[in-house]
Structure 1
Amino acid sequence: MMGKVYFVGAGSGDPELLTLKGKRLLESADVIIYDRLVHPVLLYLAKEAARFIYSGKYPKNHVLKQKNINQLLIEEGRQNQLVVRLKGGDPGIFGRVGEEIATLQREGINYEIIPGVTAASAASSYSGIPLTHRDHSSKVTLATAHRQAGETIDFKGLTENGTICLYMGVERVESTQQKLLEQDVSPHLPVAIIEWASLGRQRTITATVQTMIDAIEEQHIQNPALIIVGEVVSCRKDEDWFEQLPLFGHKMLLMDTKTIDFETILIYTQQGADVYAIQVGEERDKRFDEVHKQYLRDHYFDEVVYLDPKLTTVYKNQRDILDK
């Protein structure tokens, strides 16, 4: 008897952007295959017997090549179990879900797709920028800066009373600006660049088509970042609702000797903090050892919240955790 593979969109950043259906499947899954841009605190929803498999891909350094991921889905999908393929954002928007579905279809393995909140929605909403607006935009285009050879985008037509959201656009911003200007898009058209959308480490900068390269370089903006081009960017007025939350900008590491409850994490994220949580000690859930190492290598948290006061004398900072 074969199992079933569920492609679940984790949403972008804020763990509460996960759908109710996605939450139910994570709680039921026998194995969870998760991507780099998935917030790993979502794994705290998993049952005790669930297995975790990291399939994160770094630019130019893929942990599991796509063909290996496809093979992994076949191997896990053939077993009588519930498999969750957890992807950042929405699986069907630049998530390569089409290739993975085709693999399962060839093998006769059942699957479902559960959509998620894509980066364009999360980044714009958490920056106070509506993607459509009666006065500015009647259409939205989602595009990637990583285009096929010879492929062109009608920037002029799509920005006239419209909004363009460019995924993974920071590395190619020079060629994007060149094409915008070549197509006679106004150099004064507003642009927003949002890094780590909907997390407490989010940064939003505004510029114009003319100044976007300088703005990205000055602020050292890096991927994951979304570029929004269009008059709707002018709707952003200084800091918006998310950036005004009391713990916005705080990078907080929660530590406990007991199993950390997902709801405890949300107490802090709901106030705007960038949060990660770790259980330590002999009774810890050892499935998370590799998860923690991977995440803490990529992200630094400068505030430690000791949910178990005894830990204050053992762990002073994030480095102590990695060393131990």
Structure 2
Amino acid sequence: MGNVYFVGAGSGDPELLTLKGKRVLESADVIIYDRLVHPVLLYLAKDSARFIYSGKYPKNHVLKQKNINQLLLEEGRKNQIVVRLKGGDPGIFGRVGEEISILQSEGIGYEIIPGVTAASVASSYSGIPLTHRAYSSKVTLATAHRQAGEIIDFKDLTDNGTMCLYMGVEKVQSTQKKLLEQDVSPQLPVAIVEWGSLGRQRTVAATVQTLVKAIEEHQIQNPSLIILGDVVSCRNGADWFEQLPLFGHKILLIDTEKIDFEIIISYTQKGADVYAIQVGKNRDQRFDEVHQQYLRDHYFDEIIYLNEELTTMYKKQWDILNKKFV
């Protein structure tokens, strides 16, 4: 039997991976990774590690949950280290309970390595404290996708408190309706944080009354976090993250050599939204599918060729493949 590690990758910024998560990721034989995991983390894997994409899109699951459970069983039965790499924290809306149950049923060993959840990340990178002595003495993490008949006491949870709604954009109209029906103040401050802690992050301020309109006007999409509470008023203009020198820059790094993780984070540390690709006949072909999946969802408007001698050659190849990022 092998051992399965459920590793929280953190939300967005690849440096939010914990030291323990990094150590396990570097030793993994198989990495089963989700869509919201920043794939540059796979550059930490050893050369022999296998990658399996289990990304879930709204209403279009690449691997359905039952298939993921079966995959964990199949890989966990082998004498190897399996990492189930999840965005944020595995134990917070990550369905880790279902996945460990299936392993327990066959006596397969596992460990859970927590990660930094979206509520902590999105609020911190937007300049919003989740608690504040003047505004909030409690924090509630909730999902907008509730079970039939489930009722949330929005009024009590937002009185002198902060509420963080995960995956709330699709259900925002019904959420707003329930907030107003429960006499939550229409003027209660709200922030919607899209792609928190990445260089493409957007933070939109609203109130309960203007919540739906704000999301529609700014065309906010998931992954986004909705923060409700008076603490939102602590945000005053551009926050520390948005003032970094490369914030808002969408940069694609291209090299013919193996991608150095430290080079990647030298850009993210300055606020850039970065992805990196190794090209050429000597490239690590494990990443071919990884790149296809990621570039399907994201575009980049700046290219930096780390190997200047081959700049012209590989620019032509990318143009031929209709990957025009400039």
Tell me the TM-score normalized by structure 2.
0.97
CA distance in 1, matches of 2:240, 2:186: 29
- Give how far 1:247 is off: 0.1
Instruction: Tell me which residue corresponds to 2:210.
Output: 211
What 5-or-longer segments of structure 1 have no aligned partner?
none
Asked whether the 8 Å contact 1:34–1:55 carries over to 2, the reply is yes
Instruction: Tell me which residue corresponds to 2:194.
Output: 195
- Give how far 1:317 is off: 8.6
Instruction: Tell me which residue corresponds to 1:48.
Output: 47
- Give how far 1:320 is off: 2.9
Instruction: Describe the shift of the 1:250–1:188 C-alpha distance in structure 2 as closer, same or farther (beyond 3 A).
Output: same
Instruction: Tell me which residue corresponds to 2:76.
Output: 77
Is residue 52 of structure 2 the alignment partner of residue 59 of structure 1? Answer: no
CA distance in 2, matches of 1:11, 1:258: 27
Instruction: Describe the shift of the 1:52–1:127 C-alpha distance in structure 2 as closer, same or farther (beyond 3 A).
Output: same
TM-superposition CA deviations, 1:184-243 (whole Å, max 9, x none): 000000000000000000000000000011111111100000000000000000100000
Instruction: Tell me which residue corresponds to 1:259.
Output: 258
Q: List 4+ stretches of structure 1 deviating above 2 A.
A: 314-324
What 5-or-longer segments of structure 2 have no aligned partner?
none
Instruction: Tell me which residue corresponds to 2:95.
Output: 96
Task: Determine what percentage of the aligned residue pairs are the same residue.
Answer: 82
CA distance in 2, matches of 1:194, 1:318: 36
Instruction: Tell me which residue corresponds to 1:304.
Output: 303
Task: Map 1:212-251 to 2 at 5 A.
Answer: 212-251=211-250
- Give how far 1:132 is off: 0.3
Instruction: Tell me which residue corresponds to 1:166.
Output: 165
1:107 aligns to what SS in structure 2? Answer: coil
1:210 aligns to what SS in structure 2? Answer: coil
1:74 aligns to what SS in structure 2? Answer: helix
- Give how far 1:14 is off: 0.0
2:275 aligns to what SS in structure 1? Answer: strand
CA distance in 2, matches of 1:318, 1:243: 34
TM-superposition CA deviations, 1:161-186 (whole Å, max 9, x none): 00000000001100010000000000
TM-superposition CA deviations, 1:27-80 (whole Å, max 9, x none): 000000000000000000000000000000111110011000000000000000
1:310 aligns to what SS in structure 2? Answer: helix
Is residue 72 of structure 2 the alignment partner of residue 110 of structure 1? Answer: no
CA distance in 2, matches of 1:229, 1:323: 42
CA distance in 2, matches of 1:231, 1:319: 48
* Counterpart AA for 2:121: A
CA distance in 1, matches of 2:315, 2:145: 42
Instruction: Tell me which residue corresponds to 1:271.
Output: 270
2:112 aligns to what SS in structure 1? Answer: strand
Instruction: Describe the shift of the 1:262–1:318 C-alpha distance in structure 2 as closer, same or farther (beyond 3 A).
Output: farther
Instruction: Tell me which residue corresponds to 1:35.
Output: 34
Asked whether the 8 Å contact 1:195–1:224 carries over to 2, the reply is yes
1:130 aligns to what SS in structure 2? Answer: coil
CA distance in 2, matches of 1:94, 1:319: 38
- Give how far 1:318 is off: 9.9
* Counterpart AA for 2:257: K
Instruction: Tell me which residue corresponds to 2:185.
Output: 186
* Counterpart AA for 2:241: F
CA distance in 2, matches of 1:129, 1:67: 37
TM-superposition CA deviations, 1:111-140 (whole Å, max 9, x none): 000000000000000000000000000000
CA distance in 2, matches of 1:278, 1:164: 38
